[in-house]
Amino acid sequence: MNKEAKVEHLHEYKMNKIIMHIDMNAFFASVEQQINPALRGKPIAVIGSNERTVVTTASYEARAYGIKTGMTKYEAKRLCPHIILVAGDTGRYTDTCRRLVEIYRQYTPMVEVYSIDEVFLDITGSISLFGSAEVIAQKIKMDIHKRLGRLTCSIGIAHNKLLAKLGSDMKKPDGLVIIRQDDVDTLLEHLPVKELCGIGLQLERRLSVMGIKTCGELGRASIRLLRNQFGVIGERLKLMAQGIDDSPVIPLEQEPDAKSVGHSMTLDRDVSDMETLERHILHLSEMVGRRLRRGGYAGRTVAITLRYPDFNTFTRRSTTGMHMNNSIDIYRVAKDILNTIRLQQPIRLVGISVCNLTRNVAQIPLFRSDRIKQAATRAMDEINDRYGDFCVTWGTLIERYHHTGVISPSWRPDGVKCVNLSAQKTREKKV
Ligand SMILES: [Mg+2]
């Protein structure tokens, strides 16, 4: 892209869009401190209930001791012996996220929930109603304070999502950073490439080998060279380094249909007995089935993902002739797949997903036994919708430990989560 084209491109953004990125500060820890005043001002770390859990969020008081997301609780204790470990409660965080989204919706309908503690707002159409982007940001901060107490956020404002996210990262906690078009080139010139959302460790390493360390250097790199190295994303990398990003804010109701629905969990201990493994598979099948039914989906392919203690991970799939969303059907297929696998080691993580999805499947089953099964499932879903997940479930699951796992980055306030098991990492998302 030549210089003229770039200027024109940017001009278009400047005229068209004002994007805000809101990142809640130390979200899980702040929610816990808000709910329990005894935790305020103290170093706390939110962990899962699982024996092998890691720190998902540390309060700012704990961060002062060097405690970071991803550390084991033993490492955290070593750094700060008086740290308070709090078992995370998924329900509290999803509930708070829903309440935050209600606040944002007062300012714009264009709210994209990027993760449990991050959103993008397109406030282009809201400026004339509220004054300026800065005014909207201040109002949002005040609303959060009024309705949710001590929660703070960092806000970045720019003409696209990439730069808005960069802005919110620049000042924590309680920041407000506006990146103006005229400042973009100066800001990016010496900025390390890894600071851009979407450039991970691997890409950073590969670029570094090519002698590219800053966005300035990446933005000037030859397009042919980048294409040779990175294929189709080569061009996109160059544009990103120039601060160009035309990805739209996608509100919840416009999210593309799910390609797959899945869930995985790291087990309390490595498991080699089939009965325990099958119980976990039933549990996961119910979680996946419920989400499919809630979103009005059914799928033909069931996949099971297993991970050994050495992190060797593999997925096996089976495609059936019918679309299904009944938990027991999913479980049966998953169990059949499991029976074809000769386990080499005990299992550390297990995941179930369903793909090849179709929407709005309202078939009336042919056989009476299937009709009964469907009615039972519907009754169970209704009770669980009202009184909470797993209020009514199968006997085999009753001994199930209280699993307060980490929320998938693809969590959404309502409807279907798109989880790609193969891409899922064990490292919990930083919040
Ligand atoms: Mg955050």
The enclosing domain of 399 has a CATH number of: 3.30.1490.100
Structure tokens at 40: 């305020």
| Same domain, residue pair 322 and 408 | yes
Asked if pLDDT for residue 419 goes beyond 80, the answer is: no
CA of 25 to the centre of ligand 1 (A): 5
Give me the helix-helix angle, 90-105 and 27-35, nearest 10°: 100
The last residue of one of the domains, among 150, 179, 208, is 179
Would residue 253 show up in a list of annotated catalytic residues for this protein? no
Q: Which residue has the tokens 């390390």?
A: 192
> What average pLDDT does the segment 319-326 reach?
86
> What average pLDDT does the segment 45-49 reach?
85
Asked if pLDDT for residue 1 goes beyond 70, the answer is: no
| C-beta separation of 54 from 47 below 8 A | yes
The enclosing domain of 138 has a CATH number of: 3.30.70.270
Asked if pLDDT for residue 391 goes beyond 90, the answer is: no
| Same domain, residue pair 22 and 160 | yes
The enclosing domain of 216 has a CATH number of: 1.10.150.20
| C-beta separation of 251 from 111 below 8 A | yes
CB atoms within 10 A of CB 357: 23
Sheet of 260-271, strand order: 260-271, 347-359, 297-307, 313-324
The pLDDT tens digits of the residues spanning 142-166 come to 999 999 999 999 999 999 999 999 9
Catalytic residue among 112, 118, 286, 428: 118
CA of 24 to the centre of ligand 1 (A): 4
| Same domain, residue pair 120 and 194 | no
Q: What is the pLDDT of residue 370?
A: 64
Q: What is the pLDDT of residue 67?
A: 96
Q: Is residue 99 part of a domain?
A: yes
> What average pLDDT does the segment 248-260 reach?
76
- Among 130-144, 317-331, 413-427, name the one with the lowest average pLDDT: 413-427
- Among 79-83, 239-243, 404-408, 426-430, name the one with the lowest average pLDDT: 426-430
Q: Is residue 301 part of a domain?
A: yes
Q: What is the pLDDT of residue 5?
A: 44
Asked if pLDDT for residue 225 goes beyond 80, the answer is: yes
| Same domain, residue pair 266 and 391 | yes
| Same domain, residue pair 410 and 267 | yes
Residues in CB range of 111: below 8 A, 6 or more apart: 101, 104, 105, 119, 120, 121, 249, 251, 252
Asked if pLDDT for residue 406 goes beyond 60, the answer is: no
Q: Is residue 379 part of a domain?
A: yes
Q: What is the pLDDT of residue 8?
A: 42
Q: Is residue 31 part of a domain?
A: yes
| Same domain, residue pair 170 and 291 | no
| Same domain, residue pair 285 and 386 | yes
| Same domain, residue pair 143 and 194 | no
CA of 26 to the centre of ligand 1 (A): 5
Q: What is the mean pLDDT of the chain?
A: 83
Q: Is residue 4 part of a domain?
A: no
Q: Give the whole-angstrom CA distance, residue 194 versus residue 207.
A: 10
Q: Give the whole-angstrom CA distance, residue 353 versus residue 305.
A: 8
> What average pLDDT does the segment 23-36 reach?
96
Amino acid at 199: I
Asked if pLDDT for residue 12 goes beyond 80, the answer is: no
* CA neighbours closer than 13 Å in the CB half-sphere of residue 27: 25
Share of the chain above pLDDT 70, in %: 78
Q: Is residue 431 part of a domain?
A: no
Q: What is the pLDDT of residue 14?
A: 44
| Same domain, residue pair 101 and 237 | no
Q: Give the whole-angstrom CA distance, residue 410 versus residue 120.
A: 14
CA of 344 to the centre of ligand 1 (A): 39
CA of 14 to the centre of ligand 1 (A): 27
Give me the helix-helix angle, 133-148 and 90-105, nearest 10°: 140
Number of structural domains, the chain? 3
pTM of the predicted model as reported, rounded to 2 decimal places: 0.66
Return the HEC string of the chain.
CCHHHHHHHHHHHHHHCCEEEEEECCHHHHHHHHHCHHHCCCCEEEECCCCCCEEEEECHHHHCCCCCCCCEHHHHHHHCCCCEEEECCHHHHHHHHHHHHHHHHCCCCCEEEEECCEEEEECHHHHHHHCCHHHHHHHHHHHHHHHHCCCCEEEEEECCHHHHHHHHHHCCCCCEEECCHHHHHHHHHCCEHHHCCCCCHHHHHHHHHCCCCEHHHHHHCCHHHHHHHHCCHHHHHHHHHCCCCCCCCCCHHHCCCCCEEEEEEEEEEEECCHHHHHHHHHHHHHHHHHHHHHHCEEEEEEEEEEECCCCCEEEEEEEEEEEECCHHHHHHHHHHHHHHCCCCCCEEEEEEEEEEEEECCCCCCCCHHHHHHHHHHHHHHHHHHHHCCCCCCCHHHCCCCCCCCCCCCCCCCCCCCCCCHHHCCCCCCCC
| Same domain, residue pair 146 and 189 | no
* Closest residue by Cα to residue 431 from 413, 402, 408, 404: 408
Q: Is residue 251 part of a domain?
A: no
| Same domain, residue pair 338 and 406 | yes
Q: What is the pLDDT of residue 407?
A: 56
| Same domain, residue pair 173 and 197 | no
Q: Is residue 418 part of a domain?
A: yes
Range of the domain at 195: 185-241
CA of 332 to the centre of ligand 1 (A): 39
Q: What is the pLDDT of residue 293?
A: 84
| C-beta separation of 83 from 76 below 8 A | yes
The last residue of one of the domains, among 148, 179, 210, is 179
